[in-house]
Chains A and B, each alone.
Chain A
C-alpha cells in the first residue's frame, strides 16, 4: 500500500539547535516533494520544493534533502527559534507528475524551547 510517514512523535529541541524532520514514503514515484508549515487553526504554508533530480535545496535557515533510493526526505531547521514551533508536513505528487494532486503526510509537531 502507499504510505507517507513522518516522525510520529513530537520533536522537542532547545533554541539554537538544529531540528531534523524525516519523511519516508512507500510505493510512490514522485517527481518532486514539498514541505509545508502549519500553525494551529490555519492552513498549511508552502516552504520548499525539491525535485527528484536534486539532492539538496536550501532557503535561509531551511535545508531539504531528497533521496529517491531510500525514498526519504530530511528537513532541517538550523539555529532554531521558538517561532519555528509548528507542525511540518511533507507532501508529494502522487504519480510522478502525471496527476496534479498532492498527498500529505501526517505531519511532525516541532516545539522549540527557549
Chain B
C-alpha cells in the first residue's frame, strides 16, 4: 500500500464549471477526511466519513459541495458551479478507527478557478 492517493493533482477550471476530486485512502483505514487549505493557512476541516457514513460536515461545506464514500473505500468530493473563492488545495486524509486520530494525508488536489 502506497499511502493516500488523490486525483487529479492539479485542476484548472472556469468559474461555473463542476469539478470532482477522488481520494483513495489506506485500505485498512475506516475514517476518511477532507480538508481545504489556502495559502498561508492551516488545513480547514470540511467533512469526514466512518466507513460509508458521512458523520460530520463543516459549515464551510456549502450546498455546492458534496462528498461521498459509496462503499467505504474511495471517496469523491464534487464542487458544483465553482467560484473563484473555491481555489485552494483539497486534502484527503485517512486514519484507523482505533486509537488516537493520527491522519495520513495525500499530496492534495490543487484547484484553480479562473
CB of A68, distance to nearest CB on chain B (Å): 16
Whether B62 is near chain A, meaning CB under 8 Å from some CB there, is: no
Whether B101 is near chain A, meaning CB under 8 Å from some CB there, is: yes
Chain A interface: which size bin?
20 to 34
B50 / chain A contacts, CB cutoff of 8 Å: 100
CB of B107, distance to nearest CB on chain A (Å): 5
How does the 8 Å CB contact mask read for B15-52 relative to A, with 1 for contact and 0 for none?
00000000000000001010100001111110010100
Q: For the complex, give the distance between the alpha carbons of A52 and B44 in Å.
A: 23
A51 / chain B contacts, CB cutoff of 8 Å: 100
B106 / chain A contacts, CB cutoff of 8 Å: 43
Q: With contacts defined as CB atoms under 8 Å apart, how many contacts are there between chain A and chain B in the complex?
A: 60
Whether B67 is near chain A, meaning CB under 8 Å from some CB there, is: no
Instruction: Among A43, A99, A103, point to the contact of B91 (Cβ < 8 A).
Output: A43
Q: Write the chain A residue with the least CB distance to B9.
A: A41
Q: For the complex, give the distance between the alpha carbons of A43 and B104 in Å.
A: 9
Q: For the complex, give the distance between the alpha carbons of A51 and B101 in Å.
A: 12
CB under 8 Å from chain A, chain B span 56-114: 56, 91, 93, 100-108, 110
Q: For the complex, give the distance between the alpha carbons of A32 and B45 in Å.
A: 17
CB under 8 Å from chain B, chain A span 38-69: 41-46, 49, 51
Contact B42–A105 (Cβ < 8 Å):
yes
A4 / chain B contacts, CB cutoff of 8 Å: 42
Contact A49–B105 (Cβ < 8 Å):
no
Instruction: Among A44, A46, A100, point to the contact of B43 (Cβ < 8 A).
Output: A44
Q: Which residues of B contact A (CB under 8 A)?
A: 4, 31, 33, 35, 40-45, 48, 50, 55-56, 91, 93, 100-108, 110
- Show 16 A/B contacts (Cβ-Cβ < 8 Å), sorted by A: A32-B100, A34-B102, A41-B108, A42-B108, A43-B91, A43-B93, A46-B103, A51-B100, A99-B56, A100-B50, A100-B55, A100-B56, A100-B101, A102-B45, A102-B103, A104-B44
Known: A31-B100, A101-B48, A107-B42. 14 other contacts (CB 8 A): A32-B100, A42-B107, A43-B107, A44-B91, A51-B100, A93-B100, A100-B31, A100-B50, A101-B45, A102-B33, A102-B101, A103-B45, A104-B42, A106-B41
